[in-house]
Amino acid sequence: MKHRSKSRSGIDPGIPAPDPSVNIQHGKKTLFTVLTVLIPVIFLLLIEIVLRLAHYGGDQRLFVSAPREVSKYMMLNNKVGSRYFFMQKTLPTPPKDLFLKNKPANGYRLFVLGGSTTAGFPYEGNIMFSRILQHRLAEAFPDRTVEVVNTAMSAVCSYTFLDFMDEILKQKPDGILFYAGHNEFYGALGVASTESLGKFPGFVKTYLGLRRFRIFLLMRDLTGRIRLLFNKSLSRRLKEDPTATLMERIVSDQAIPLNSRMYELGRKQFTLNLRGILSKAGKAGVPVMLSELVSNVKDQAPFISQKSDTLPPAADVFTQARAEESAGRFRHAGSLYRRAKDLDALRFRATEEFNRIIHEAAVSFSLPVVGMKQVFEQASLNGLIGDSLMTDHLHPNIRGYFYMADAFFNTMRENGWMSRNWASGPVHSDDVFIRSWGITRMDSVYADLAISYLKGSWPFKPRSEVNRALEKFERKNLLDSLALRAIVDSSFGLELAHLALAEHYEKTRQWDQALREYKALYTTIPFEVMFYNRSARILIGLNRQEEALPLLLKSIEVGDTEFAYKWAGQIETANKDYAQAVGHLQRAVRMNPTDPQTYYHLSIALALSGQTGKAEDIFKMMKTRFPNSEYLFVLQKTFGKPESTEEAEWKRIMARAKACLDRNENDEALSLLRRSLEIRESGTAHHWMGMALLKRRDTAGAIASFGRARKFLPRDGNILYYLAAAHAMERKYEKASAILDTLYAEHPGFGDPSNLKGQLARKLGR
């Protein structure tokens, strides 16, 4: 056999060599395929980057850093509702709760999940059960830093709570409290909500994961707009109609009969999400406390009554319940009232089955349940929950919210949360405790208006009927006007109404009423130092320093202000708590090193605490920096050299001048005071000169003298009062009134010996 010869390269010449162009073509094809796949990805990635740079969709985190004034805290993001509401222009917001970024070693932190009841509707933050509970826990454990952070929002369901869990668990909670279920059908993402994304939990959970991408939010918003274009009925209901409530706008499918397919979907949604929440908490080792749901069964008739082959109309059962109650058969009446509520096809009140689901989940995960039904029934006449504890179909009144707080408190104690050792004895929502809470008539009027507005709309009234509830409200005083404005003006709100009323009470010297309004404010927003400081200022002016001190210390706990440090130090000095006084006064002088009065009080506190060397150093410094200060001359007696002949002469002249003033010998007094000023300038001499000139009707001279006196004695209320009187004598009534406002702001307990305020009011036509 002949063999083919090979070339020197070892390649058989009979086999054709590979064509390089084939490899090039294959490479191009592969590259084209890769680019075909990558270009859309790159395009989408670029869109995502652009949207993020443009901050499209805003910040949707649950927790954000608090403002600079309280920068050591985290706070709830008031934009977090945009995660779940993409068809509404007005979004519900969570409470103004803050918590420390760095949880202290002795800290105990609870997070609260829920809807509008948990958020305290129709009231504000001062009457949320979580705020009352925090106060009770802090009293029970004064050595602990207790934080109860309420994440509740109106019109949300269990999808929201499940979505919150990962972020909550990152904040090191010691426990989670859960009161929710009434919104399961109509709340955002619920099966019958205008904000629904469908009826399948898997799809909704996928959406909640994808909404972290801005391009997905853009697609969501575009889809929502297209949906409105093709659904005119929905579009009309979602328009910003001033008479349409969120309750009305959020409902898509009104009638959901008991045991219907839609009802079963909502029940399943609640069950799965609740178990998902408990599973996440269990894996993180965080205990959860569930609560039964309560609603108004006695005094709220069914909204939608429908008859079916297997179920009677809700209205008929409600009528039977009424008859049983009238006959005194209260237990049977209660059973029928609850049955009528469950048969109500409008699902604004959770059925009794939801409470069974809550109990079954608690058994599965070995968790405690708050017996809220029993608490409310025991507090209701004949055990029938109605208007005595409810403001509407399901939101408690003030007393009801206190009962809720007690129920959680007692269940925590019974199950050994926080500690195995709790103080013995029951905790009651007695009238004394409620009266001492930060609640005023403003809260009640505001809540009544909110409920009136709610009941003036669907489903309490036909959808075709215009809501005129607020038009019927008769404004009898400033409080009523402010409460109404807080309801209709979203930029104003209840907190500003409380503040405006407090300032009015201050101007009219109604001190106790002003204090109550400020208490409502710092109960509602406990992390705002202004409300504590204003309350303390009033109490100091009324010579009620012991009441002022706790408020000043709470202010210091929240944030740094010179006012709080300075006055806390002065009161602590009077209480002989010198170590605390020195610390607070040192902080005050660091914040304002130009106030001789603070240095004076610091020097006194140091001297009384035995630190005489440091006290003398302050005295020496004041001689250089504040040579004409009245406070320096007071310290002279303690740290200065023996009184000089010149100083003694000055004192004799001042004493004679004072005697002349008392005898109305004004010319002689003026002559003596001018001599005193040649020896040493002082605020007292200028003040007395102003008084003498005022008696001589030399108002221009008096105003000049009082102005100079203020430079030496800036906190002397008498100087301000007579300065205002001098301006009034010159018929500068607006100026005089403004000076009086400053006086009473600085010295709320100052008297009015000449009825100057009344005279000015008449001149100005007020």
Q: How confident is the model at residue 7 (pLDDT cuts 50, 70, 90)?
A: very low
Q: Which of 525-529, 557-561, 714-718, 729-733 has the lowest average pLDDT?
A: 714-718
Banded model confidence at residue 262, pLDDT cuts 50, 70, 90: very high
Q: In 3-state terms, what secondary structure has residue 405?
A: helix
d(CA 638, CA 7): 118
Contact 527, 98 (CB under 8 A): yes
- Reported as a single tens digit per residue, the pLDDT across 296-347 is 999 999 999 998 889 999 999 999 999 999 999 999 999 999 999 999 999 9
pLDDT of residue 510: 93
Percent of all residues in the chain with a pLDDT value above 70, rounded to a whole number: 84
Helix ranges (H only) for 525-577 are: 529-541, 545-558, 562-574
Residues 536, 532: Cα–Cα separation, whole Å:
6
Whether 728 contacts 759, CB under 8 Å:
yes
Task: Look at 292 and 242; give whichever has higher pLDDT.
Answer: 292
In this prediction, residue 5 carries a pLDDT of 47
Is the confidence at residue 358, as pLDDT, over 80?
yes
Angle between helix 717-729 and 756-763 (nearest 10): 30
Class of residue 678 by CB neighbours under 10 A (exposed 0-12, middle 13-18, buried 19+)? exposed
How does residue 422 score in pLDDT terms, banded at 50, 70 and 90?
confident
For residues 265 and 394, what is the distance between their CA atoms, to the nearest angstrom? Answer: 22
Taking CA atoms, 688 is separated from 212, 596, 630, 728, in Å, by 71, 22, 14, 19
Give residue 8's pLDDT band: very low, low, confident or very high (50, 70, 90).
very low
What is the maximum span of the chain, computed from C-alpha positions, in angstroms? 153
- How big is the chain, counted in residues? 766
Lowest mean pLDDT across 355-359, 388-392, 469-473, 670-674: 469-473
pLDDT: which is higher, 211 or 482: 482
pLDDT band, very low/low/confident/very high, at 20 (cuts 50, 70, 90) = low
Q: Are strands 145-150 and 107-114 parallel, antiparallel or unpaired?
A: parallel
* Residue 39, SS3 per DSSP: helix
CA neighbours closer than 13 Å in the CB half-sphere of residue 689: 25
pLDDT at 11: 47
Pseudo-torsion of CA 599, 602, 603, 608, nearest 10°?
160
Matching fold, domains 63-254+261-294+352-436 and 645-763: no
Using pLDDT thresholds of 50, 70 and 90, give the confidence band for residue 648. Answer: confident
Taking residues 424-442, report their average pLDDT: 77
Q: How confident is the model at residue 237 (pLDDT cuts 50, 70, 90)?
A: very low
Q: What is the mean pLDDT of the chain?
A: 86
**pLDDT of 386:** 97
- Residue boundaries of the structural domains of the chain: 31-60, 63-254+261-294+352-436, 645-763
CATH topology of domain 645-763: 1.25.40
Q: Please tell me which residue, 67 or 230, carries the higher pLDDT value.
A: 67
Q: How far is CA 314 from the centre of its chain?
A: 40
**Amino acid at site 704:** A
Please give the pLDDT value at position 85: 78
Q: Could you read off the pLDDT of 126-136 as tens digits, one per residue?
A: 999 999 999 99
Distance of CA 540 to the CA centre of its chain: 26
Q: 360-380 pLDDT, tens per residue?
A: 999 999 999 999 999 999 999
pLDDT for residue 240: 45
**Across residues 472-501, what is the average pLDDT?**
93
Confidence tier at 270 by pLDDT (50, 70, 90): very high
Overall average pLDDT of the 553-563 stretch = 91
Q: Which residue has the tokens 């010179």?
A: 562
* Two structure tokens written together for 30: 């592969």
pTM above 0.75, yes or no: yes
d(CA 225, CA 165): 30
Mean pLDDT of 535-558: 93
Q: Is the pLDDT of residue 38 over 70?
A: no
pLDDT digits over 715-754, tens only?
A: 788 898 899 999 999 899 999 888 988 888 777 767 777 7
Share of the chain above pLDDT 90, in %: 54
Give the tokens for residue 120.
């305290």
- Identify which of 156, 257, 140 has the alpha carbon closest to the alpha carbon of residue 208: 156
- DSSP H or E segment with residue 745: helix 733-746
Choose between 744 and 381: higher pLDDT: 381
Closest C-alpha among 63, 64, 98, 93 to residue 79: 93
The rounded distance, in Å, linking the Cα atoms of 318 and 299 is: 10
Banded model confidence at residue 198, pLDDT cuts 50, 70, 90:
low
pLDDT at residue number 4? 47
**Half-sphere exposure (Cβ direction) of 112: Cα atoms closer than 13 Å:** 30
What's the pLDDT at 213?
64
- Segment 586-603 mean pLDDT: 92
pLDDT at 180 over 60: yes
pLDDT-based confidence at residue 589 (cuts at 50, 70, 90):
very high
Q: Which residue has the higher pLDDT, 696 or 353?
A: 353
Q: What is the CATH number of domain 63-254+261-294+352-436?
A: 3.40.50.1110
From the number of C-beta atoms within 10 Å of its C-beta (0-12, 13-18, 19+), residue 632 rates as buried
Residue 86 pLDDT exceeds 80: no
3-state secondary structure of 694: helix
pLDDT at 49 (0 to 100): 75
Q: What is the pLDDT of residue 196?
A: 61
Q: Which residue has the higher pLDDT, 293 or 96?
A: 293
- Mean per-residue pLDDT for 471-497? 92
| Residue 197, pLDDT score | 61
| Token pair in block for residue 376 | 């409310």
Among 45-59, 118-132, 465-479, 622-636, the range with the most confident prediction by mean pLDDT is: 118-132
Q: Which pLDDT value is given to residue 2?
A: 45
